[in-house]
Amino acid sequence: MSTEPAPSLFDAGWYRHARRRESPHFDARPPGSQVELVVLHGISLPAGVFGTEHVDALFMGRLDTGVHREFAALEGLRVSAHFVVRRDGALWQYVSCDQRAWHAGVSRFGARQRCNDFSVGIELEGCDDVAYERAQYESLGALLGALLQAYPIRAIAGHSDIAPGRKTDPGPHFDWSFVRRASALPRAALPPFA
- Give whole-number Cα distances, 67 to 47, 53, 63, 75, 77, in Å: 14, 12, 9, 12, 16
Minimum distance from residue 33 beta carbon to Zn ion (Å): 20
Smallest separation, CB 78 to Zn ion (Å): 15
Closer Cβ to Zn ion, 66 or 165, answer by number? 165
The least CB distance from residue 63 to Zn ion, in Å, is 16
Judged by DSSP in three states, 59 sits in helix
Binding site for Zn ion (CB under 5 A): 41, 159, 169
Q: How far is the CB of 104 from Zn ion (least distance, A)?
A: 8
CB 40 within 8 A of CB 109: no
Question: CB-wise, 41 or 100, nearer to Zn ion?
Answer: 41
Closer to Zn ion by Cβ: residue 161 or 169: 169
Query: Among 15, 20, 41, which Cα is nearest to 145's?
Result: 15
Indicate if 36 belongs to the active site.
no
Q: Check 123, 125, 133, 138 and give the catalytic one.
A: 123
Kindly tell me which of 41 and 86 has the beta carbon lying closer to Zn ion.
41
* Active-site residue list: 123
